[in-house]
Amino acid sequence: MKKGLNNEKIYDYFLLVMYELENKERIEDINKMLIEYERKELYLECAGILRALEWVAFQQLTNLIIEFKEYGLYRDIKISRESFRV
């Protein structure tokens, strides 16, 4: 078994969450699952869930920026470090 973020369990939970999100699971429900796993101290599972949530947040932000650039609205975007908290 691999160590760190390349752990097989982390990857499995990343894929599980990505599958759930593709099938219209709500992000709020995934966050509840993350809190429950954290309460149970299932940290590898939490790492996979969090990695998927962060990836989705990054993808959504990227898509918004692309869309804003297409419509010439990117000058109005104000981004701060606080904007990136999951």
pTM of the model: 0.74
Q: For residue 50, what are the domain limits?
A: 4-84
Contact 1, 8 (CB under 8 A): yes
How many domains does the structure of the chain reveal?
1
pLDDT band at 25 (very low <50, low <70, confident <90, very high): very high
Element (H, E) at 16: helix 8-22
Mean of all residue pLDDT scores within the chain: 85
pLDDT band at 39 (very low <50, low <70, confident <90, very high): very high
DSSP 8-state class, residue 71: T
Tens digits of per-residue pLDDT, 12-24?
999 999 999 999 9
44 Cβ contact list (under 8 Å, min separation 6): 7, 9, 10, 13
59 Cβ contact list (under 8 Å, min separation 6): none
CA 16 – CA 48 distance, rounded (Å)? 9
Give residue 86's pLDDT: 52
